[in-house]
């Protein structure tokens, strides 16, 4: 499905979402007649300082002016790997985008991420992983880190990494692995209208509380995270 197909299927009542060099900004109309703010990264575009500042600005302009949920569409590269982006403080721009999305979600503008293509590393942290519910579309291929970079840092051969990736969900790229970890809450189906699946999710949004560690435990992908976090929390509260 192309981005246009996805937008049309999600919003049969219409949308005004523009794709400007891979940066998606706009609004769409839900079946209820309410509007949904839409932003995102398309065409496997790298997320750099110039893209991030436009995305965060789009959300900030909407806060206080509009109401309704927010959709973050993701088909990105990783963060833009360049001297210029790092020189200008890319970490701040990506963190700012995530902070704005988290703030919106905590203050009456529930956020949904829709991973319909690729994403990786810092780009995924600043977009899909900063939403309350991250949805995958079949065929999406997120990868936390690409294998060439992994090979360089881990000093393992590409062959060794590819071999381990076949049997190891905890580091291997892919939608199903991230689902098992609790990062991706659910995967929609192309067999049913996307608009119906979006409406069903909006009607039954989980609480804003971050439950991804519990999800990862229930799915057998992250057996320790929830328990460790809970034990530290309890110890810290007792220590007062």
Binding mask 65-84 for another protein (x = CB under 8 A): --------------x-xxxx
Closest CB to another protein among residues 108, 139? 108
The four Cα atoms 122, 70, 6, 137 give a dihedral, to 10 degrees, of 50
Concatenated DSSP letters for the chain?
--HHHHHHHH-TT-EEEEEETTEEEEEEE-TTS-EEEEEEEEEEEEE-HHHHHHHHHHHHHHBTTB-S-EEEEEEEEEE---HHHHHTTHHHHHHHHHHHHHHHHHTT--EEEEE-SEE-HHHHHHTGGGSSEEEE-TT-EE-SS-HHHHHHHHT--HHHHHHHHHH-TTT--SHHHHHHHTSS-EE--TTS-HHHHHHHHHHTPPPSS--HHHHHHHTTS-SSHHHHHHHHHHHHHHT-
Is 28 or 178 the residue whose CB approaches another protein more closely?
178
Q: Closer CB to another protein, residue 18 or residue 233?
A: 233
7 binding another protein? (CB under 8 A): no
CB of 15 to another protein, least distance (A): 25
Q: Counting contacts by CB under 8 A, is residue 106 touching another protein?
A: yes
**Closer Cβ to another protein, 28 or 112, answer by number:** 112
Among 37, 94, 115, 198, binds another protein (CB under 8 A): 94
Shortest reach from residue 154's CB to another protein, in Å: 5
Footprint (CB under 8 A) of another protein, residues 131-190: 144-146, 148-150, 152-154, 156, 164, 168-172, 177-178, 181-183
Shortest distance, position 134 Cβ to another protein, whole Å: 9
| Angle made by CA atoms 59, 205, 73, in degrees to the nearest 5 | 40
- Of 6, 10, 39, 49, the one binding another protein by CB under 8 A: 49
Q: Cβ closer to another protein: 15 or 212?
A: 212
| Residue 218 makes contact with another protein by CB under 8 A | no
CB of 132 to another protein, least distance (A): 9
């Amino acid at each position: 499905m192309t981005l246009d197909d996805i937008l049309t299927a999600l919003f049969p009542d219409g949308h005004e979402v523009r794709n400007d060099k891979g940066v998606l900004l706009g609004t769409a109309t839900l079946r209820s007649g309410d509007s949904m703010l839409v932003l995102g990264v398309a065409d496997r575009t790298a997320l750099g300082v110039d893209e991030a500042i436009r995305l965060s600005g789009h959300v900030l302009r909407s806060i206080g002016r509009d109401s309704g949920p927010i959709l973050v569409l993701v088909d990105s590269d990783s963060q833009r790997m360049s001297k210029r982006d790092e020189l200008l403080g890319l970490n701040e721009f990506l963190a700012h985008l995530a902070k704005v999305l988290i703030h919106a979600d905590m203050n009456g503008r529930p956020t949904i991420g829709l991973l319909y293509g690729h994403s990786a590393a810092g780009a995924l942290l600043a977009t899909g992983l900063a939403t309350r519910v991250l949805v995958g579309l079949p065929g999406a291929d997120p990868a936390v880190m690409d294998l060439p970079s992994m090979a360089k840092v881990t000093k393992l051969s590409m062959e060794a990494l590819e071999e381990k990736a076949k049997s190891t969900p905890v580091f291997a790229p892919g939608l199903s692995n991230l689902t098992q970890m609790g990062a991706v809450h659910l995967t929609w189906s192309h067999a049913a209208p996307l608009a119906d699946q979006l409406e069903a999710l909006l009607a039954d949004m989980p609480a804003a509380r971050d439950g991804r560690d519990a999800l990862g435990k229930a799915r057998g992908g992250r057996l320790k995270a929830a328990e460790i976090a809970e034990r530290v929390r309890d110890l810290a509260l007792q220590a007062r």
